[in-house]
Structure 1
Amino acid sequence: MGEKERWSQGLADDILQLIAQRLYISDYLVFRQVCPNWRAAVDRGLATRSCPPAPQLPWLLLHNFYGLWTSPGNQYSLDALYIERHQYSFRRAPTSFRSEIMSSPVSYSFRYCVGSIESWLIVAIYQRCRKNNSSTVVNFFFNPVSRARVMLPSKDSFLMKIVASSPPAPTTRLQQKQHNCFVAALSYGNRLGICRPTDTSWTVIETIDGLDYKDIEIIDQKLYVVCREKLRDNKYYVLEFDILSEDDNVTRAKYNCRLCIDIPNFSVLNSILYPCLAKDSASKELFIIRSRSLIRKGFRVYKMESKTDGEPSCKEATDLGDRTLFLSNKSNKVINDKTLGKNCIYFAYDLEGGFGVYSLADRSIKRVYFPTDYSFSSRETIWFTPHPW
């Protein structure tokens, strides 16, 4: 034992950090737990952000959405699927992920992941007061690896989805203001709201008569909303809202609706799911994805482009290059990666479509099957990429 202790203590920080940087996040965290010396070496690298884990493809989180009002000891399941070394592996999420996301000091609450941005989950905790039977929704960014939290203003309505323009700045309030992160929420009841982490409350966006909101995405200071014309089931638009930046002493974000974009129909096919949105954070491009209710019929991908007169339009994208689309119930992502094959869409829903990979090149589909004792139909899905920061 003494020789082993001397051996572990003799490794320099730079050597330990070089090893850690070659490990995926799950092994990276285990490596950090081997002994105090290894933990200290990794922590010193984390403090200067000079020791990241190996590049990680998105994880798919799946959690049961039954049992709304639960006690803290009754944590409903949270599982993770991740792609590693070009293989599909179904693994239970680390205990720290489950306990941190699902724990709450409130006697009766419903914990729920309603969005993600890079390595951050966006969590909603629905809290009910037994005295007057009222409820509030506490929202916050949460990094399951570092366990950092950045709070958002509370809401009084049930949330379908939250998106953010960028990851939050988990430091001082002053740095958060300088970071200029904008957040948008789509609530049940056809309600939209925007805020910044430093705001004291959400700004409610007035509902436009005749339109039913279906999905949202935010790029810099522009909010995009997919909406359906209520009197025409297959007529969809994308609304673009300018989010107006205000001085630091203003406690509410403002907005201005600028234009509508027609979304092309999926030829003359019926049973079409509503379009969803996905952004390429690197190029600032917005993709609009349409699919049939029977996923095996495939997807169509459109990219928003500007015409010469400055007006936007939708053009079908048949070649994504090195980009891969990841679609789920609560979070859609565009990832630049050359290892997964070109023109692929990884989709995961709680509908009968399940989980699979669709090729835009030949319009084929490859199913991904879960263990026979695992029920996927009762799960909500969300993509995120675990990272220490």
Structure 2
Amino acid sequence: MAPKKQCTSRVSWEQLDPDLLRIISKKLCDISSFVCFRAVCKRWRAVTSLSDPPPQFPWVIDWPKAKSSGELESVFRFYSINSRKTHAFVVPHAYIFGPSDGSVLIYERDRSDKECQSFLNPLAWRERFVPLEVPVDNTVRPIRLARNLIQNVEPALFYEENAHYILCFWQSVKNKWAGVRVPRLKTVVFYDHKFFVTDDEINYTRIRVIDESTGAVLSYLPPPTDNFYHGYLIATDDGLLAVEVIRSIAVIPYLKIDLEECQFEVYRLENYPQNPHWTKLRGIGDLMLFLDQQNGFSLKASDFGGFKGNCIYFITAGKKWPKRGSEHVIARFDIESNKTERIPAPAWLGRRFFERQAAWFMPTLL
């Protein structure tokens, strides 16, 4: 009997069906894998687009450590919970203030030795400069503008000036930056072309609504509870949410905490603007909320395989380490079970004295 001939035909990966390639590209959970996928060949690159990457689970950004000279290192590290990978980016001669969606706010010296401030996307290496009248110091804070709801929105920030805060944002109608003075700003969110700003006066807390196009104050809203000083406002597809931290460990760093005691309450703004009021929610369904020291935002769990909705992800500081400061902790609060669990994080995250907390970062190639 003649021996069977072995099949010598091979399927070229380059010739895979375009529809199959698109399905594969949408399953890539890490944006670095998506970049490598597009770099394989022209055909693979042609079936994908930088403007339509697979949904990316947020990364955690860690502040650079201080050198013995007092200067900061220019290497910034990012941790992906989804892939458990660490990504590092070098930004020479720059100081970082914090993330805002897919950018980080930095200031550096240009070739003429002048200090300049900009939002930098470390993946696309694209800069957007901010107004020169904004001070270059550590009182400046970026604002997250709900990237999952609004596209191509210029970043916003606020800074402290004497006893007030200045909210700076881009007015697309007038094609210029605008500044609005607000007292004791605590949290701010962009929703329905308006800024909702929580400020805390001496005797009361209220939420002022500022029009994006004019900068005028449209109205004032009461907070969901009398103890909303450490709360968050979050824009979602289902409306404007308010999250109250029952124990303020998510906003007060460097405390020895017990994660089992972490609890949150969620409210939704109803019937705005006719008769606005807050309704306490028993759950948030498919939504996942993300909180750090400064900002909050939402994503849908159904966009990510293996992740559960009705949860709140947050970053705080854990037990103190002798002579090394506090350990940053990534945790998840399950609203249905009312329980908190810790999420594995790399050893390099945190463990230092009195530096800004780690924060969420949305990786994007745009």
- Matched AA of 1:381: A
The answer for the alignment partner of 2:270 in structure 1 is: 305
SS at match of 1:262: coil
The answer for the alignment partner of 2:26 in structure 1 is: 21
The answer for the alignment partner of 2:45 in structure 1 is: 43
The two structures, once aligned, show a CA RMSD in angstroms of 3.8
Q: Is the 8 A contact 1:114 1:122 kept in 2?
A: yes
Structure 1 gap segments, 5+ residues each? 170-178, 246-253, 267-271
SS at match of 2:216: strand
2:244 to 270, 289, 293: 289
- Matched AA of 2:275: E
Structure 2 gap segments, 5+ residues each? 1-7, 251-260, 320-327
Displacement of 1:113: 2.7
Normalization by structure 2: what TM-score? 0.73
Q: How does 1:206-355 map to 2 (within 5 A)?
A: 206-207=181-182, 211-229=183-201, 231-232=202-203, 235-244=204-213, 254-266=215-227, 274-280=230-236, 282-294=237-249, 296-306=261-271, 310-338=274-302, 339-350=306-317, 354-355=329-330
SS at match of 2:282: coil
Q: Is the 8 A contact 2:94 2:106 kept in 1?
A: no
- Matched AA of 2:165: R
1:191 to 143, 165, 169: 165
- Matched AA of 1:225: V
- Matched AA of 2:198: V
Displacement of 1:64: 3.3
Is 2:361 aligned against 1:384? yes
SS at match of 2:24: helix
Counterpart Cα distance in 2 of 1:136 and 1:53 = 34
Higher helix share: 1
Counterpart Cα distance in 2 of 1:350 and 1:160 = 20
1:153 to 101, 107, 131: 131
Displacement of 1:327: 0.8
SS at match of 1:26: helix
Displacement of 1:379: 5.5
The answer for the alignment partner of 1:92 in structure 2 is: 86
- Cα pair distance change 1:181/1:387, threshold 3 Å: closer
- Cα pair distance change 1:236/1:121, threshold 3 Å: same
Displacement of 1:356: 0.9
Cα deviation, 1:336-379, whole Å, max 9, x if unaligned, reads 11443342111113465832111222321112243556534556
Counterpart Cα distance in 2 of 1:123 and 1:238 = 26
Q: How does 1:115-154 map to 2 (within 5 A)?
A: 115-116=100-101, 120-127=102-109, 136-140=115-119, 142=121, 144=123, 146-154=124-132
Q: Is the 8 A contact 2:289 2:299 kept in 1?
A: yes
SS at match of 2:285: coil
Counterpart Cα distance in 2 of 1:76 and 1:351 = 24
Q: Is the 8 A contact 2:118 2:129 kept in 1?
A: yes
SS at match of 2:244: strand
Displacement of 1:241: 1.0
Displacement of 1:310: 1.0
Q: Is the 8 A contact 2:146 2:297 kept in 1?
A: no
The answer for the alignment partner of 1:203 in structure 2 is: 178
Displacement of 1:63: 2.3
Q: Is the 8 A contact 1:16 1:41 kept in 2?
A: no
- Aligned pair count? 328
Counterpart Cα distance in 1 of 2:146 and 2:339 = 33
Counterpart Cα distance in 2 of 1:9 and 1:369 = 37
Q: Is the 8 A contact 1:32 1:42 kept in 2?
A: yes
- Matched AA of 1:285: L
- Matched AA of 1:56: Q
Cα deviation, 1:155-199, whole Å, max 9, x if unaligned, reads 225412323365899xxxxxxxxx883543221344222332867
Q: Is the 8 A contact 1:224 1:238 kept in 2?
A: yes
Q: Is the 8 A contact 1:184 1:192 kept in 2?
A: no
Displacement of 1:18: 4.2
Counterpart Cα distance in 1 of 2:152 and 2:38 = 33
SS at match of 1:64: coil
Displacement of 1:264: 0.3
Q: Is the 8 A contact 2:206 2:220 kept in 1?
A: no
- Cα pair distance change 1:168/1:160, threshold 3 Å: same
- Cα pair distance change 1:18/1:310, threshold 3 Å: closer
